[in-house]
Structure 1
């Protein structure tokens, strides 16, 4: 299944750091995303797009995972020539990930 079937995402940025929150629609699906959406999986999923460290925070009360991805925005809003300087599409890209 695709993550968008069981969760939604919110994104934010600070400089060259992207922050993505992955929040389940139903709290019963939290353990599934906690198991399947790992730092290693995100590194593989985003490839060279995220050049730095990825840190994952778990927020079980909200059924959410929060990922802080360093060196993910091609220099950040003031330096990047990318179309998506804020990294808003990174959340949509994550929701397209398939999990078993």
Structure 2
């Protein structure tokens, strides 16, 4: 019996980078694919529901996803993710700057025959 794997599980950071910021108790995280080809994959798999589930342990109550196809990028606004906000939290990351790394660790299923196409713009460290 031959098993053919048609997808490869990568982390979102393998096909995209991110930026984060804050306003009060809201976190704002942008996800920018390295290639335009990866945008449709990110649209399909990085949903409001998945992001809310990912940040649920931090008390997140809602996620709004904004699609920016001309960039191409996504922007997520996550309510109640900063444990009260900059002036209220005891969290060491007051502004939520590292939250983009948490989102970029999200598993993504990438078609095997398109892995190179989606990851070609990734910087090698």
Q: TM-score, normalised by structure 1?
A: 0.95
Aligned length: 100
What is the alpha-carbon distance in structure 1 between the residues aligned to residue 28 and residue 21 of structure 2?
5
Give 4+ residue runs of structure 1 displaced > 3 Å after superposition. none
**Counterpart of 2:102?**
93
Quick one: structure 1 residues 26 and 14, their matched pair in 2 at CA, closer, same or farther if it must change by over 3 Å? same
Report Cα offsets for 1:40-94 as digits up to 9, x if no partner. 1111212221432110000011111100011110111111110111011110011
1:42 to 42, 51, 56: 51
Instruction: Determine which structure has more spread, i.e. the larger CA radius of gyration.
Output: 2
Q: TM-score, normalised by structure 2?
A: 0.77
What is the alpha-carbon distance in structure 1 between the residues aligned to residue 60 and residue 31 of structure 2?
20
Structure 1 unaligned blocks of 5 or more: none
Structure 2 unaligned blocks of 5 or more: 1-9, 110-125
